[in-house]
Amino acid sequence: MSSGLRTAVSLVALAAAAQALPRTAVSPVAKRQGAAYTRQGCFVDNANGVRLLGAASTASDDMTVATCASFCSSYQYFGLEYGRECWCANSLSAQPVSDAECSLACAGNSAETCGAGDRLDVYINDDYVPPAGVPSPATLADFDYLGCFTDSGNNRALRGIVTFDSAMTLEKCAEICSSYSFFGVEYGSQCFCGVDLDDSSEEVPQAECSMPCGGDPTNVCGAADRLNLFVSTSCKEDPTNLATVGAFAYQSCWVDNVGGVRALDGPVLRGDDMTVEKCADFCDGYQYFGVEYASECFCGNQLAGEAAPEEQCSYICGGDATQWCGAADRLNVYAAQPTTP
């Protein structure tokens, strides 16, 4: 047998052996041979109703990785889910999970995986080029643009509510922060609100805010630790803590949920229209009540934990923009006043 023929037979044998081997998990970051995209891993999707890649989507009974890549060609990331779904976005803010959780074969190619229920096989488009020279608008309905500002995870420039959405737009963030004096967009998918701007934040060149908005690639939404900052054009009343409400008197901002232990362990009420008065009525008969995260109300007869600086309770009540309603793991606490015989 000639050496060329022996080589050909050997290659055929190797290919057959490879097909016989059990399938192994794909590496979290794997370049597809000859493709213009690279796999990033398996990710949880639809957590708390929020899509990881929600800027655009499609579904098909002949879905493949290449089909989804083509549909999402104008976006930086794409992902496949539930065998037949394709999702796109310009930002990815999550950590991968085990590849074993993305186990469904693609409807159009059983040799490929296309996520699973609420699990995305995520890829990055290697040939993606962000829009060049796209400025943030000077004005937006009811807001003026201030510029690009520094931000830090340890000391946020805006200390109000925070929203993450892979389909973020300037208009969406403006609506979320309509009760606040300021809003800022960051890292393509993040929206921050605030009643004032932290003194440590500084304006930097506009070029440092360069990431396209996940839901609108014609606009920029900050960058890593950089905010495109807007201020409301209408005068907004500064929020306050009520000195008294019903039979309760204000105490202080309070740390909550330390090690999973709640500061107040009684009944809980949640609603986007939360106010201090509504929480006081709900907790009538208890020694304490507290409002938290703009929309949550907690009751209890014992108060665990410790006080926090007042500036850490920085979320406006969802039902009354003139009142403070705690923050993430921070309560504005009120205590029942002693009655006079």
Alpha helix ranges (H) inside 124-264: 170-176
Asked if residue 213 lies in contact with residue 221, where contact means CB atoms within 8 angstroms, the answer is: yes
Q: Maximum Cα–Cα distance for the chain, whole Å?
A: 111
Of the candidates 172, 194, 197, 192, the one whose C-alpha atom is nearest the C-alpha of residue 181 is 194
CB-based contacts of 219: which residues, under 8 Å, 6+ apart? Answer: 134, 136, 137, 169, 170, 212, 213
pLDDT at 279 (0 to 100):
97
Asked if residue 71 lies in contact with residue 58, where contact means CB atoms within 8 angstroms, the answer is: yes
pLDDT at 158 (0 to 100):
94
Distance (Å, whole) CA 163 – CA 215 = 14
Distance (Å, whole) CA 294 – CA 321 = 10
Asked if residue 236 lies in contact with residue 181, where contact means CB atoms within 8 angstroms, the answer is: yes
- As a 3-state breakdown, the chain gives helix, strand, coil percent values, each rounded to 5, of 15, 35, 50
pLDDT at 35 (0 to 100):
62
CATH code for the domain defined by 139-232: 3.50.4
pLDDT in tens, the chain (341 residues): 434 433 333 433 333 333 333 333 333 445 555 568 999 999 999 887 778 888 889 999 999 999 999 999 888 899 999 999 999 988 777 789 999 999 999 999 999 999 999 999 999 998 887 666 556 565 687 888 999 999 987 788 999 999 999 889 999 999 999 999 999 999 889 999 999 999 889 998 887 888 888 888 888 898 888 999 999 988 788 899 999 999 999 999 999 998 889 999 999 999 999 999 999 999 999 999 999 999 999 999 999 999 999 999 999 999 999 999 999 999 999 999 875 54
Q: Which two tokens stand for residue 144?
A: 């003026």
pLDDT at 26 (0 to 100):
36
